[in-house]
Chains A and B, each alone.
Chain A
Amino acid sequence: MTRNLYKKIINFFIIIFLAIQIFIYFYNQRPLSENFSQKNMTVENFSSIVLSKSGMTKIGSEKLNKIDENNIYLEGNSYLENKEYKIYGENIFIKIEEEISNSNDPVKVINSMGILKSKGFKNLDNEGIIIFKGEVEFLID
């Protein structure tokens, strides 16, 4: 009698244990039904390639800060590079949808004409226009 009771108790625990296992299995497999969006994000020593209307641009930074879905802040030494230019600067803001990047810190640009240095820049990439601000020196090869 007692032995039969032990068996029932053991079986009960085995069933409970299996039920928990099944629950854990399905819970882990269930796809996330909610849209998950992390608004603020920081990545260190970042580099990536961005495809836009104006072509392919390689970007890199000591620290990339994603402000929101449309705005990126490249903190510290950063660069933007495509087939027409290489921009080396610091603290560059990028508006992804508008394809605008700008910085108020010194910048060095290398293109097929020479090397340009200025106090800051605003790059209207989809218009093919870069405005270099402050004192500008452009050494032509």
Chain B
Amino acid sequence: MINKILYLIVFLLIFSSSYSDSYVKASDTLIWDSENKKYTANGDVEFKNDKFIAYSDKMIANYIEENNEEIFTTVELFENVVIKFKDEIFKGNHAIYTKNDNIIILTGDVSIESPTRLLTGYELIADIDNNKRILNSADKDSLVEVLLENDSND
């Protein structure tokens, strides 16, 4: 009986320490600027929240303080940006996510990849709450849509 309780405690401890909805990881540095209320992460940045997971070379996250808690308001990603949202992958050179409206704006060699299609353009506005995607092009030729096949035998 005691062994079972110990196993349960150990399991709960491991589970609680490994599980987190949101995190930031970086390979080089993370700078916390409490006067300007921002975090800057450099090198192989990985950012995860309850909506998506994002990768980039650099990240600047601004926050506010509410009830003695810090809450991210905007997350800006620079260079080699990859954002995974459900079964979609967004790519671009720069991205900014605003928490208030749950919108991600990507710019520069943007693409959206889903199981059935690949779209490329200059600017992507991904409205997560309303499940809308607006892909803008710098000119007419830069907007490309490619249908992806799920099964190679088809």
Using A118-B30, A129-B35, A132-B30 as known contacts, say yes or no to A137 and B25 having CB atoms under 8 A apart.
yes
Instruction: Answer whether residue B24 sits at the interface, using C-beta atoms and an 8 A cutoff.
Output: yes
Tell me, rounded to whole Å, the shortest Cβ–Cβ distance linking B28 to chain A.
Answer: 8
A57-65, A70-78, A108-116 - interface stretch:
A108-116
- CB 8 Å contact bits of B20-51 with A (1 = contact, 0 = none): 11111111111111111001010000000100
Q: Cβ of B41 and Cβ of A140 under 8 Å apart?
A: no
Q: Cβ of B33 and Cβ of A129 under 8 Å apart?
A: yes
Instruction: Answer whether residue A31 sits at the interface, using C-beta atoms and an 8 A cutoff.
Output: no
Instruction: Answer whether residue B122 sits at the interface, using C-beta atoms and an 8 A cutoff.
Output: no
- CB 8 Å contact bits of A123-141 with B (1 = contact, 0 = none): 0000111111111111111
Number of residues of chain B lying within 8 A (CB) of chain A = 26
Cα A135 to Cα B41 with chains together (Å):
10
Tell me, rounded to whole Å, the shortest Cβ–Cβ distance linking B51 to chain A.
Answer: 13
Give chain B residues whose Cβ lies under 8 Å from the Cβ of A97: none
Cα A82 to Cα B26 with chains together (Å):
25
Instruction: Answer whether residue A34 sits at the interface, using C-beta atoms and an 8 A cutoff.
Output: no
Partner pick for B29 among A111, A112, A132, CB 8 A cutoff: A132
Q: Cβ of B32 and Cβ of A112 under 8 Å apart?
A: no
- Closest A residue to B21 by CB, please name it: A140
Give chain B residues whose Cβ lies under 8 Å from the Cβ of A135: 25-27
Using A128-B35, A131-B29, A132-B32 as known contacts, say yes or no to A139 and B20 having CB atoms under 8 A apart.
yes
Give chain B residues whose Cβ lies under 8 Å from the Cβ of A134: 27-29
Number of residues of chain A lying within 8 A (CB) of chain B = 22
Instruction: Answer whether residue B139 sits at the interface, using C-beta atoms and an 8 A cutoff.
Output: no
Using A128-B34, A128-B35 as known contacts, say yes or no to A140 and B29 having CB atoms under 8 A apart.
no
Q: Cβ of A138 and Cβ of B34 under 8 Å apart?
A: no
B2-10, B62-70, B79-87, B94-102 - interface stretch:
B62-70
Cα A84 to Cα B65 with chains together (Å):
11
Cα A131 to Cα B36 with chains together (Å):
14
Partner pick for A129 among B21, B24, B34, B41, CB 8 A cutoff: B34
Q: Which residues of A contact B (CB under 8 A)?
A: 84, 111-114, 116, 118, 127-141
Known: A136-B30, A137-B24, A140-B22. 6 other contacts (CB 8 A): A111-B32, A129-B33, A132-B30, A136-B41, A139-B20, A140-B21
29 A-B pairs in the complex with CB atoms less than 8 angstroms apart? A112-B69, A113-B70, A114-B22, A116-B32, A128-B36, A130-B31, A130-B32, A130-B34, A131-B29, A132-B29, A132-B32, A134-B27, A134-B29, A135-B27, A136-B29, A136-B41, A137-B23, A137-B24, A138-B24, A138-B25, A138-B30, A138-B39, A139-B20, A139-B22, A139-B23, A140-B20, A140-B21, A140-B23, A140-B49
